[in-house]
Structure 1
Amino acid sequence: MLNLRLTGVSTSLILIATLIGGSEGFALAPKPEGGVAFKPPNLDAPDNTTDGGTRGEVLFSPTNRGAPDNTTDGGTRGEVLFTPTERSAPDNTTDGGSRGDSQLPDDLQLLVPPTVMPLTLSEKPTFFAYIPHLPAQAVKFTLYRHDADQLVDEQLIHEVQIPMPERAGIVRFTLPDDQRIALEPNQLYHWYVSLVLDPQDASGNIVAESWVKRLSAEDPVVLGLNQSPSPDYAQAGLWYEALAQQVQTHQFIVDPSQSPASCMQGDNLDDWSRFLQSVELCNVVAAPLLN
């Protein structure tokens, strides 16, 4: 059964800075409507973290940065452990869902850890989302700068719309080669992926949201990586770098042995399956990469 979370979002307009046709200006524009209501992350203490299991070579296990409720068992024999740094935890995540007779889910899902703030070193990280096979018109990616202490808490940085893929799979979103569209150090950003069902009625869009924070050069995580001849992004808890690395090395071919069920059970897993298992993303393990 199709399991879509459609939640209304305020239709009030906010003043945002937009980049149009290579020039800067101010305009009134709405936040993405539908899907997931806006809730800022808890910047003080994460509610919980991801259980990474005890056997994977490519796991995501939180680094203790304060007083989180839980920590992750990063495995007992792994060489590449993904350790999400517990800076802040988004309050909600996307329900991936699954279809009884298929290995691909029916729901829009962002490839992010469920309860920790995804971090990056890059000013232009790559974002990934699983796009289901639905009768939508387009897919829209939107990136906002988030400043909770400002009168206008979210400023539009970038927006792009692509045609709806003809089949379900993973889509990557990259930022353009424009220095004005770059993440600033120690800055929090909010990103959305929307499935546009009706271009004339945004309230019906299916929307998923997540976060990204770029670390500064002085951050202990960055300093530690700079001292290593071969930086381990997974162990350092840098989600966007670790995910991009996994996508680059994984061969997206049909492999019946790497199914959502086997991923969750943890039997004879490849690196991609172990990596997804550690962040509760097994439902997209069989999804192809579409771009």
Structure 2
Amino acid sequence: MQRPTVSLFLGLILCIGLLDPATTPAVSDQPTASQSGPKEDAPLPLYQPPKKLTPRARVGGGLRGTDGSDPVLVALVPDHVGLTAKKSPVLNWFLSKPTTYPLKFTLIDIRSVKPLHEGPIPTPDHAGVQSIDLNDWNLALEPDVQYRWYISAIRNPDSPSQDLVAGGVIERCEFSACLVEMEVDLSCDRQSVLRNAMRGFWYDAMACLCQLIDLNPADQALRRQRASLLNQIGLSTVAQWDLRSIPAPVR
């Protein structure tokens, strides 16, 4: 009559041994659902154009003909005058494929026939989004003045009409109006991109976003934000190219 009691006692000892804290994984050592679950997508910027628009300001803008030998240049600007709060802003443009053509940058104050600046720029060794920093040429924009800017690929130095050209129009708002009335964000981070796009500062939002992507080329959220802005101004083909070019994550 004692054997069942002994067997039960031995079974309890065995169970206690299996539950020894030294052999049982702690809760903190076990993976949780939040560690492996997808991260929430970053909010997409919404571009609100200025109330006063000057249409038909963009030159170029499509990727038709990229199967040919010539590259396509696209200014990453809306088809109206884009705003900036900066004295010497960064201008962004797109190159569909590497090229050996010499490139030229031109900046024109619309009040003058003669260019404010015209000169060669280095030819990029890769396709994709490029930038021009006006600080590199000590160029400063006057407030409340519109400037036309162009990137030209020179196919034939003796025939300027054969140049491949892309460009846009930019205007710098007066500083107090930018800061007080329009509440521009002078910093450069993910939140400033959202704020400046919403407040109509296209050039500042796009330049900051491109800078963040240069620092984090594999960040898919940043790429989606840039593609969203480009789609909103009718440059959907460039946006698709950009998304297809996201580097694969390093394993």
SS of 1:142's equivalent in the other structure is strand
SS of 1:203's equivalent in the other structure is helix
CA 1:100–1:137: 2 relative to 1, 3 Å = closer
How far 1:86 moved relative to its partner?
3.2
**How far apart, in 1, do the equivalents of 2:184 and 2:125 lie?**
42
How far 1:273 moved relative to its partner?
2.2
1:214-229 alignment runs, 5 A limit: 214-219=172-177, 222-225=180-183
Residue in structure 1 matched with residue 121 of structure 2 by the alignment: 162
Within the alignment, does 1:97 sit opposite 2:63 as a pair?
Answer: yes
How far 1:201 moved relative to its partner?
2.7
Letter in 2 for 1:84: P
Unaligned runs of 5+ in 1: 1-55, 59-79, 148-152, 259-268
**Structure 2 counterpart of 1:234, from 170, 177, 197:** 197
Letter in 2 for 1:236: R
Task: Output the TM-score relative to the length of structure 1.
Answer: 0.56
Unaligned runs of 5+ in 2: 1-41, 247-251
Write the deviation string for residues 145-202 of structure 1: whole angstroms up to 9, x where unpaired.
112xxxxx334222231343343222111113565x2100111111111011122332
**How far apart, in 1, do the equivalents of 2:107 and 2:186 lie?**
32
Letter in 2 for 1:246: L
Residue in structure 1 matched with residue 169 of structure 2 by the alignment: 211
**How far apart, in 2, do the equivalents of 1:271 and 1:129 lie?**
16
Residue in structure 2 matched with residue 270 of structure 1 by the alignment: 224
For the aligned residues, what is the CA RMSD?
Answer: 3.4
Aligned length: 191
**How far apart, in 1, do the equivalents of 2:154 and 2:184 lie?**
42
Letter in 1 for 2:140: A
1:123-162 alignment runs, 5 A limit: 123-133=87-97, 136-147=100-111, 153-162=112-121
CA 1:183–1:244: 2 relative to 1, 3 Å = same
1:18-167 alignment runs, 5 A limit: 57-58=43-44, 80-91=45-56, 93=58, 94-98=60-64, 107-114=72-79, 116-133=80-97, 136-147=100-111, 153-167=112-126
Residue in structure 1 matched with residue 7 of structure 2 by the alignment: none
More strand by share: 1
Letter in 2 for 1:175: L
CA contact (8 A) 1:133 1:166 kept: no
**How far apart, in 1, do the equivalents of 2:167 and 2:116 lie?**
15
Task: Output the TM-score relative to the length of structure 2.
Answer: 0.64
Identity among equivalent pairs (%) = 26
**How far apart, in 2, do the equivalents of 1:208 and 1:222 lie?**
33
**Structure 2 counterpart of 1:252, from 211, 214, 217:** 217
CA contact (8 A) 1:127 1:174 kept: yes
**How far apart, in 2, do the equivalents of 1:186 and 1:204 lie?**
33
| The structure with more radius of gyration | 2
